[in-house]
Amino acid sequence: MGRKIYKYLGPDILPLAFNEKGSVSIKFSLPKDYNDPFELFLSIDPSQTKPELLAFYRDIVQEIPQHPTTCFSKSPIVTPMWAHYASNLTGFVLEFDEELLMNFVNGSYVTDVKYLNETSSEVREQLERAYYVGKPRHAMWLNQAAGHIAYFSKHICWSYEEERRLVINSADLDKLDLNMLLRVPSECVTAVIAGARVSEDNFQRSVGIADSIRCKHYGLFIGKSYKQPFLKDLSGASYVFRENCIVSTESYCGHCKEPVEDSINDLCAWCAIDDIHIKDAMARNPLRMMHEIGRLDQYIERFNSIGKK
């Protein structure tokens, strides 16, 4: 099984991505348009660099070349990603087969983003070597190191994204209004995942798209006790994301299908609650008793006033 990478989309983007039969469109942006304003400045720390070295760095590196770039995640269950890039769980995630995708992209480079808490020691070493030795190859290595840091590093505060970044030549792109789009065969998409809050119309639209390109379809679910989001296919079978791939759950609740680590008669802890448990809880609840005798509101008011005088 090849590596899978994941693209988060808003609900309105999914049909646009598949508006041309047999292909899927991927949007690219230039580094100057990145959402993190600091990720181009992780190469060196100006405040810790001598003026002569800083001037030399600027003269060698100058501006970082602007190559079209798109961002994937290594996981389809990153909750902040669903919030930020898939319209608060109302959008979708596309699963791509990276090997298939790269077969259709010329002159490209894809790798994991490295998350840094401070500037790169590698670039600093290259800068000092280039400045003091003065050979052309050292200047070229400095330029390459600074470019790599600019494209494939971000501040550690973004590490939740688990990002994998693809950089290509602009010659492979189509221009649509202000957007740069790469069209690749739809076979590169191996699954469509609908968000937990997707509308019924958009859910059915995504099912139709998955059916038309012959890929898998999942819905994302937020469980009551399972610690991470999980997936269900159209038959109701449950899946989890484990070891970089979507796999069937080994154990799940027979009622709600939520993955479970420890089950009670094949039910999760919540679904195992029966009428006897409910009646016992009601009988033991002192607040319910106070409500029945008409004293609850007075008690709550007095309770909340404690410590305020």
Both tokens of 205, joined, read: 């639209």
Q: Residue 242 is inside which H or E element, if any?
A: strand 238-242
Least confident interval from 100-104, 173-177, 182-186: 173-177
The reported pLDDT for the residue numbered 36 is 61
Domain range list for the chain: 4-188, 275-305
Convert the pLDDT of each residue in 244-290 to its tens digit: 999 999 888 988 899 987 666 788 889 999 999 999 999 999 999 99
The whole model's pTM is what?
Answer: 0.86
Query: Are 248 and 241 a contacting pair, CB within 8 Å?
Result: no
Burial-class residue 250 by CB neighbours within 10 Å (0-12, 13-18, 19+).
Answer: exposed
Residue listed under structure tokens 């995504």: 206
**More confidently predicted of 160 and 174:** 160
Confidence band (pLDDT; 50, 70, 90) for 75?
Answer: very high
Question: Contact, 7 vs 76, CB < 8 A?
Answer: no
Which of 53-91 are b and which e, b meaning 16 or more Cβ less than 10 Å from the residue's Cβ? bbebbeebbeebeebbbbbbbbbbbbeebbeebbbebbb
